[in-house]
Amino acid sequence: MKTRIRSLFTGIFGLLILLSPQFSFASDNSSSVRRFYERAQQYVVNISSDHGKGTGFLINYQDNVYVVTAAHVVMEEAEVLDITGDKAVKRTDLIVSQNLRFALNDGQPDRELELVGFDDVADIAILKPKDKSFKPESFAVLGDSDALYPGDFLATVCSHLGVINFGLSFGRVIQTNIFFLPFVDRIASDVKINFGCSGGPAMNSKGQVVAINAAISTVGNPISIHTPINHLTILLPKLVKGGQVKHGDIAVRISDSWKFNIEFYKNLEIKYPARPGVIIIFVKQNSNAASSGLRKGDIILSYNGKEISQAVDFARWLILDGEPGQVIELKILRKHHTMTLKVKLEEPIIEETEIELPYNKK
């Protein structure tokens, strides 16, 4: 049975490992490490399905028991063909893995799970036990991922390789606020995780869950990628409603202005930015963004009153907060003048490919 975790190339990141003072519980203090591990075992769970294996953790939200994991642990991609006459349209759909089950490290048989809600962009899913009488001894305590800093202690307990159940590993945060599509910002660390650890909790030195294991590198020195726990905190009200969380599309492309030279902007017919910031480099024709007045070369200063200084800030709030049909307010800088524009977010574009079928041809 395959275990599930996303794999990335370390070359994407260009990261610098920063050293910091020793974390709050000393690495040579076996009793404190043991307490940390024993506490985590009370809420960390192994997840299995026909699709593979992964890890999750128990939370209490509005007096209900939920299992949190990465969406790719419990979802599968499937190609779908819509056939009309001699033509077909191919698209990729997400389907729920079958025979979802979870187990605590308590010697009890595994239990059935059912999916409640998921967000494939944030890569988060929440499930609930089918057994309504299930009452765990403990739940994970969620921390603040925005408080993490390079060099901070980070640990995980997860199902390493889908075989070493509830294995402990720890290390340090390498960098926060990593921006790569199609996901929101992520946290990088040197915590040793591998196949089967997807969806498991990453804890700070206080034992609070501050991230969710999401991916590993496959080349060079190991780098682990984690989803900030604050994403879960923001999305929980939407996730518990059930189904797939929908995100609004603003129909523009953005970037950090300092990443490009004068020649790049010249080729795009954009005047070189007067100040560093989040610059719009493309606006889709006939979109709400275009009709609202957004233009190439605009610098985004704020999103719904939240100050924006990096592209990752804009992406975070657009993905975690924006919904189709929602009207957002953007403060922009254009030719040394600031202005405020309102833009109605659109439905996300579903990528489809038209295929001509070989039969029914004359």
Kindly state the average pLDDT of the residues 60-76: 93
Kindly state the average pLDDT of the residues 48-71: 93
Topology, domain 6-239: Thrombin, subunit H (2.40.10)
Least confident range of 20-24, 78-82, 88-92, 304-308:
20-24
Percent of the chain past pLDDT 70, that is, above it, reads 81
Residues of the chain with CATH 2.30.42.10: 252-344
Kindly state the average pLDDT of the residues 267-271: 84
Q: What b/e readout covers 218-257, taking b as 16+ CB neighbours within 10 angstroms? A: eeeebbbbbbbbbbbebbbebbeeeebbbbbbbbbebebb
Task: List pLDDT tens digits, range 209-227.
Answer: 999 999 887 666 778 999 9
pTM of the model: 0.81
Residue located via tokens 């969806």? 199
Distance between CA atoms of residues 345 and 30, nearest Å = 52
- Determine contact, residues 211/221, Cβ cutoff 8 Å: no
Polymer length of the chain: 362
Q: How many C-beta atoms surround the C-beta of residue 316 within 10 A?
A: 23
| pLDDT of the residue at 220 | 66
Secondary structure of residue 79 in the 3-state scheme: strand
Residues of the chain with CATH 2.40.10.120: 6-239
Residue 34 burial by Cβ neighbours in a 10 Å radius (0-12, 13-18, 19+): exposed
Kindly state the average pLDDT of the residues 22-30: 49
User: What is the gyration radius of the CA atoms in the chain, in angstroms?
Assistant: 22
In the predicted structure, residue 181 carries a pLDDT above the cut 50: yes
| Peptide bond before residue 324 is cis, with ω within 30 degrees of 0 | no
Q: Report the chain's mean pLDDT, rounded to a whole number.
A: 82
| pLDDT of the residue at 219 | 66
- Determine contact, residues 186/221, Cβ cutoff 8 Å: no
Residue 179 burial by Cβ neighbours in a 10 Å radius (0-12, 13-18, 19+): middle
* DSSP letters for 245-310: PP--B--EEEEEGGGS-HHHHHHTT-PPPSS-SEEEEEE-TTSHHHHHT--TTPEEEEETTEE--S
In the predicted structure, residue 22 carries a pLDDT above the cut 60: no
353 versus 21: the higher-pLDDT residue is 353
Distance between CA atoms of residues 185 and 316, nearest Å = 7
Secondary structure of residue 146 in the 3-state scheme: helix
261: nearest Cα among 249, 270, 251: 270
Distance between CA atoms of residues 68 and 212, nearest Å = 9
Kindly state the average pLDDT of the residues 230-244: 94
Distance between CA atoms of residues 287 and 348, nearest Å = 12
Distance between CA atoms of residues 83 and 194, nearest Å = 40
179 versus 324: the higher-pLDDT residue is 324
At residue 285, φ and ψ (nearest 5 deg) are: -65, 145
Is 252-344 a domain of CATH 3.40.630.10? no
| pLDDT of the residue at 269 | 83
In the predicted structure, residue 182 carries a pLDDT above the cut 70: no
| pLDDT of the residue at 5 | 42
| pLDDT of the residue at 169 | 92
Distance between CA atoms of residues 154 and 244, nearest Å = 30
Q: Indicate the residue type of 109.
A: P
Kindly state the average pLDDT of the residues 319-348: 91
Kindly state the average pLDDT of the residues 300-326: 88
Task: List pLDDT tens digits, range 75-115.
Answer: 877 666 566 666 666 556 777 888 999 999 888 889 999 99
